[in-house]
Amino acid sequence: MKKILLCILLLAVSAGARTMWVRVYYDTEEARVQLLANDFDLLTGSAQNRYFEYFLDEKTAYDVQAQGYIVNILHPDITTFLNETYGNLRMNFGEYYTYDEMVQEIETISALYPALTHLTSIGQTWQGRDIWAVKVSDNAGMTEAEPRVLISGAHHAREPIGCSIAIDNMYWLLDNYGANDTATAIVNNSETWFVPVVNPDGYVFNETYDDPWGWRKNCRDNNNSGQMEPEFDGVDPNRNYGYMWGYNNVGSSPDPTHGAYRGPEAFSEPETQAMRELCDSAEFIYAVNYHAYGNILIVPWGYIDSWVPSPDSEEYYAMAESMTTYIGVPNNYVFGTGMGTLGYETNGTSDDWMYGEQVEKPKCFAFSPEVGSSFWQAATDTNIIVNQCNDARPMNIFLEYRAALLGIEETEAVSISNLSVWPNPVHDRAILRFDLDWHVRLAVHLYDITGRLIYARTAEYGPGIHELYLDTRRLSSGVYVLRISQGEQTILKEKVVIIRG
């Protein structure tokens, strides 16, 4: 490994060591693993660009450089950075919602839209604070047989942007209900649940915490001292979920002093217990759990130290591509597994549990966006918060509308017309043509005369004219059956004759 120092040379270690914000590059898999083994407080990473970001004291940063790593100093002194940026010696909420401001905001929303919202506490923390949730739907006070979506923020206490995004999405749905077709369809045909702050105790602790980079965990009293002692206390809620909890000591830590401490057992924490009970009762089909930072969109699996995709990776990646590339104004987030995006594994996470646990509840396609370029990036700039909400909103709407379509499908037949298969008989290729009046999810299956499945495709199609091409060059001459369906409803069942030349 080349011993190169980028951008700013490290200064000689002085008696008063500074805390630096650094980006450390690795060039081999061995170097990546060795770097992670240091157990530094990991802020973010990039698998594509092969780096991790840390806050390190000056001596440690110097030692890392001496080991042969490329060290790029993003800022040589965090204390100075905070003083210059925020006007004090610690990060603060500034333009972000504090916990009390969040509670006031969702109470205001509930009062403004009493018929469309249901405000409820889903549990209480170690310190007795409520974990608030808001349901948005056309009959919010009732439990209807509708598909449900979850939007959550602030599993990690130093990542306040998730709270802002959740509240922004609430307002978009409610303010546009009755005026915007998409918002109206979502509210009428599905339920969207919001938990703006999953970790209230840790969130509130950051209002007074003196550490310059903020508190990450909850406020569990690990050493039973009767008071909050940061050097000993707290559990990482996003390492405390049950699926693959404690899979290894790399993706989470058994050490209570570590930032990724997973807790004494799975679901030991009131925050994850509350989320578990909500997910089990609501049976969400989609979830978005917001974090910071990196401008990436993470999908399962997180617990495996490889690029192994989940069983539904094809559908996951298709949704992730739409969420980041095609919907609204593209945010162009990098998407993939934790290893494929951040370059490190995590176990006991919300996404792995929401997707992987399929016994006590149905499967939920869960995503974790990592928003922005630092934890408190927008503390003094409302415009940054607005822009980040604008980037995130289409991702939420995409999943909410997909859920709404399922709700529509339960009560309305698909409006399809001008359906044809041409030519028939077929030589090399058949063209399936159809018109749609609205978005719908269709399944196309081709069977041979014995009933054996030859071809299958399931996809969503928007309003308008569509053409689907069936390549039949590898099929033998004979009679086949083409079936097009929406859910359990068969829309077309037609014989197709293939003739080989």
370 noted as active-site residue: yes
Tens digits of per-residue pLDDT, 473-483?
888 888 888 88
Residue type at position 213: W
Residue type at position 191: E
Pull the structure tokens for residue 221: 């009293």
Pull the structure tokens for residue 134: 């808001």
Single out the residue of 1, 68, 37, 3 nearest to residue 345, CA to CA: 37
Q: Looking at 296-338, which runs of residues are DSSP E strands?
A: 296-298, 334-336
Q: Looking at 310-403, which runs of residues are DSSP E strands?
A: 334-336, 365-370
**CA separation for the pair 97, 166 (Å, rounded):** 11
Alpha-carbon dihedral angle through residues 80, 293, 135, 170, given to the nearest 10 degrees: 70
* Stated pTM of the model: 0.78
**CA separation for the pair 266, 138 (Å, rounded):** 36
Phi, psi of 207 (to 5 degrees): -70, -25
Single out the residue of 218, 221, 248, 247 nearest to residue 235, CA to CA: 218
- How high does pLDDT run on average in the chain? 88
**CA separation for the pair 194, 290 (Å, rounded):** 11
CB 163 within 8 A of CB 102: yes
Q: What is the pLDDT of residue 17?
A: 64
Pull the structure tokens for residue 94: 């500034």
SS3 at position 309 = coil
What is the DSSP code (8-state) at residue 17?
P
The full set of domains in the chain, from first to last, is 5-76 (3.30.70), 99-285+316-360+376-410 (3.40.630.10), 416-498 (2.60.40.3080)
Tens digits of per-residue pLDDT, 223-240?
999 999 999 999 999 999
% of the chain at pLDDT higher than 90: 62
Q: What is the pLDDT of residue 89?
A: 52
Tens digits of per-residue pLDDT, 114-124?
999 999 999 99
**CA separation for the pair 321, 427 (Å, rounded):** 34
Tens digits of per-residue pLDDT, 403-413?
988 776 554 44
CB 232 within 8 A of CB 18: no
Tens digits of per-residue pLDDT, 178-227?
999 899 999 999 999 999 999 999 999 999 987 767 899 999 999 999 99
**CA separation for the pair 500, 82 (Å, rounded):** 73
Catalytic residue among 58, 105, 271, 370: 370
**CA separation for the pair 14, 18 (Å, rounded):** 8
CB 368 within 8 A of CB 289: yes
Where do the H-state alpha helices sit in 2-114?
A: 29-36, 58-66, 78-86, 99-112
Tens digits of per-residue pLDDT, 71-118?
999 999 888 887 787 776 556 788 999 999 999 999 999 999 999 999
Q: What is the pLDDT of residue 262?
A: 98
